[in-house]
Structures are given as structure tokens and as C-alpha cells.
Structure 1
Amino acid sequence: MIDTAGAAVVVEDLRKAYGDLNAVDGVSLSVAEGEFFGILGPNGAGKTTTLEIIEGLREPDSGSVTLLGESPWPRKVSLLPRIGVQLQASSFFEKLTAREQLETFASLYGVGAARAREMLELVGLADKADTREDKLSGGQRQRLSIACALVHDPDVVFLDEPTAALDPQARRNLWDVLRAIQERGKTIVYTTHYLDEAEILCDRVAIMDRGRILAMDRPAALVRGLDAPTRVILERGLLSISDAEALPGADVVTEDEASLTISTRKPAEVLSALAERGSLAGLQVRTATLEDVFLELTGREYRA
């Protein structure tokens, strides 16, 4: 049952096919106002098609979408000022600086130049205001693209893989921008392949594969539902396999060239026993993550 109370986005039994391919196959979801909602899935899962239908960029074969109380298809001119869209591939006006890009986008919505300057501050590009877009780094261009999607102060922001191809530092900087957007009361719907990112940023996530939603909940709830064992990892040589298997609480013990791993559902017992033996040097404890949930639901085979 989809909760529609206070929802910015409501999707019910959405379907879209291309020939024999069911790109979106009965998707239903809702996104609350002010929520940070992630759509996750492997390549070809139907994430981008779902997002484009919600945005009003693509017509569904069947099902319904309500965006801020209205149907986005056929295109509603009244909705356009209330949504911001950042696509996978960003296009900018040629030979314009970052400030000029934003001022141009702002003018399309009747927004003044002051708002463009505010957005440059928000995304950390104030010092690059007079730099041409083609001279910016990949991370800076991504932040400029998000600023263009926000310059008219929309209520709902759609971001399609905003941190793709960014280095770790640029990704972390962009996380701060996304948090700042949500703190302004905006609703964010985004797709990503970075499961650690989704686990940190999202209030809820939907995991998609082959056009269907396989699971939808808060990341922590999905991880708890997996009921996966805890892995206690030791430097190789501190403990033999037989001694590790004899520890109270140890379920499965494996060893590779660098480490020995104890899988357990009673980590407190294992850690207490290791402490008594003085075998805590270099110890690591790893619990299940959203990535484990994702792989459990979608499989581990590589998809191009």
C-alpha cells in the first residue's frame, strides 16, 4: 500500500516497455516532502527510465505518477518552476563562465542574478565564478550542473548519478552540497551506483532490478532484515584456523594470504575470547552493509 499523505511524489503500477524489454515493470513508490530518496540498481535496472517518467520527460505505457499533486505528463508548464532536474549527461552554454551559466539559467525562470550568486556559494564555486565551464574539473562541473538545477528554487530535485566518475574527495564535497540542499527543505530523488553513499545520505531507498522494485525501506532497516553474520578479521598468524574454530561464538572460519576471518552471529563472545588470548592486534569488525543487501537481492554477476 503506497502512502500518499504528505507525498511529493506518488507512483502507482508504472510500466514502460521497449519492444520485448520491460524497462519499468509495475513500479509503485511514494516520496515524502523533504525526503532524500534513492533509487538503486545495477545497469539496466530501469532507474533512469523511472526517473524520466516521474520528471515528465517520458510517457509511460500505463500506471500513474503524481508530482506535487499534478500529473507530469503531458508536460505541465505549471510544474516546471517547481522541479529541478540534473541529468546523467550535463550540457552547458558554450564559452560562458560559471556565473554566466547560472545567470542564463536563472533568467529562463525570471530569477535575478543574486540567486545565481547564492547558488555558486552553496555549491562551493564562488571562487570559480569567472572561470569558463570547459575549464572546470569534473567535480566542479557536476556541482555547477546541480546549481543550475537549483537556481530557480524548486521544491523537488531529481539527480541522476550526480557523483558518477568523481574522485573520492570530489564525491565527499558533493555529499555536503546534497545535505545542504535537503536542509533547505527540498525533496531529493536520486539514482546512484555508490551504495556507501546511499547508505549515508538517503532517508529511504528502493532497490530495483529488471524493472521491478525488490525492496524499499530505510537503509538501516534493510541491513537489519538481511540478518547477515558479523565478520571479525585478524592478521594472519595471530591464530590458527583450528584455534579460531574453537572460539565460543565462531561459526565459519576462513583464511587467505593476509588475514583470518571469523564469521559469527555472536560477536561479543568472539571478541571477549580474543581479548582473553591477547589476539586483538590489527583486528577489524565488519557488519553487513547496504551493499550486502543489494548483492543478495540482485546477484553478483557482472552486467555491462
Structure 2
Amino acid sequence: MTRVSTFGNYQSALLHLMSAQSRGEEAQNKVNTKKNATDLVGFGRTSETVSALKSSQTRIQGFIDTSKTVADRLASQDLGLDRVADAATAGRLAIANAIAAGRMDGLMAAMETEFKMAQDGLNMKHQGKFVFSGGAVDQQAVVMPAAPAGTDLEKLAALPAAGDVFRNDPLKQKSWLDENVTMDTGFLANEVGQELFDVFRDLQLLHQATPLEGQMTDAQKTALTTLMTRFENAAKAVVDVQSRNGAMQARVETLLESQEGRKISIDTILSGKTDANMAQAVTELEMSQIAIQASAQVISQLRQVSLLNYLS
């Protein structure tokens, strides 16, 4: 005689149903996330490896973000330095043209324009911050005094020294670009512009002593020739700083390429550890759905089973 246990059959069927639902949920998560697990616990024995890879991935991404920010900042610095160098070169050229013509008509107006260009270059901003202000990134590197009234060159000449217009602090920008690479990527306005501003100031003082207008005298020609040489030297000094900035740009670009290559490598390894086999995940999902349906059908049939069916 066959023994029938309704409770035992129900329990067995329910366990199978719950197991199938659990497998279905796991397979569904794999399909939705395309990952083998959503947390480290789900990776079991490989969790330590996955954790180490993710840590390396995060660290390298941080260096990549820093390198990109530094590269953009160096590009802004290059633009600012280019303006300062152009101002020095243009100042020299204006004097050379005046000497060649023997007249100084419009010379000081041109010099005022070039001086403003040099100021603009040293007050260059990147992402709202002044790049040549050292640590004082929220204030201009070059600030002309409000008094006395007059042109910027007249205000410069009224100061005890040209360096009094610089408001940068001595802290240079330093960047951590890789595990073992740190660079001083900033330049200070007073270091870049001091020599050039001294020449502009001396030019204005010369103008105030003997106005640089009209026909040029021999004494003025001698003085202007000296100033022209100083403008040339100041331009070379700025170009030298610009070349150092360019060398840093090249190094940052090389580091960035290396870091992006390392990240791709780590991403590939991590993907092999964490990414789900989608074909297998879909198959597992379909199989679990079939198992759920089968278990549900068994439970439905058990509801119709009665001991009366076995009684004669």
C-alpha cells in the first residue's frame, strides 16, 4: 500500500519552488547588471582580487583626472606666457621702428597697449582661478594702484619699484601626477614679469624726464637703444619660462598616455573577473523560469490530491 504524506509533498515542492526563484533572481541580476555579483560577497574567493583591482582602478583614474586638469592648466599658462612674451617683443619692435624713423610719434601709446597685454597675460585665469598668483588663486597676480590718476604706465612709474604691483604669494602650484611623480607646475607672476615691468617703468620715467614725442634726439636714441636691448632680454627670459612650461606639458601628456594604457589593462582584467557570461546568464534565467513553472504546477496538483483517492 502506498503512503501519501500531503505535508511532506508540499514541503518538498515549496523548497524546489524557492530554490528555483532564488536561482532565477540571481540569473536576472546577472542579466540586468551584466556582472557576476553586485557586491564583494558575491565574488567569493576572488573578492580580494576584485577589491585590489578596483582599488588600483580608482587610484589610476584619480591620477588621470589630475593629469588632465594639470594639462589644461599648463595650456592656460602657455597662453598667458605667450601674451607676456608678445608684449616684450612688441615693445622692442616699437622702439626699433621709432629709432629707424627718427621720430617717436605714438610710441608711448603703443607701449601702454603692450603693458596692458603683459598684465592680461599675468592675470590669466583657468577655471576661475588665477594661474600666476601662487597660492592666492582668488586674487589677481598684477594689481595697479588706484592712485595717482593717469595711465597704467604713469601709475607704475609712481611706485617705489615695479615689483610693488605683484600680489602673488610665493607658493607654487605642485601636482601629484603618479605614484612617484610630483611636479612644480606653477609659475609666479613676479618671477615671470619682474624684468619686463622694470623696463616699462624705466621707459615711462624716461618719458617723464624728456617726453618721447616728435623728433628723436641723440640722447633719446641712446637711451631707447638700451631699453630696446632690455626688452629683447626680457622677451627671451619669458620664452625660456614658456619652454619649461612646454616641457612639462610634454611630460604630462606622456604620463597621461601611460596611465590610460594601465587603466585599460586593469579594466580588461577586472572585466574578466566580474563581467557575467551573458549567454550563460540568459540560459540560467530561462531554466530557472521553467523550474519555477514546474514547481508551481506540482503545488497546484498537490492541492487536488486527497487520501480519499486511495481509500476503497
TM-score clears 0.5 = no
Instruction: Report 1 or 2 for greater relative contact order, CA contacts < 8 Å, sequence distance ≥ 6.
Output: 2
Higher helix fraction: Structure 1 or Structure 2?
2
Q: Which one has the bigger strand percentage?
A: 1
Report TM bin, short chain: under 0.3
Larger radius of gyration, structure 1 or 2?
2
Q: If the length of structure 1 is used for normalisation, what is the TM-score?
A: 0.21
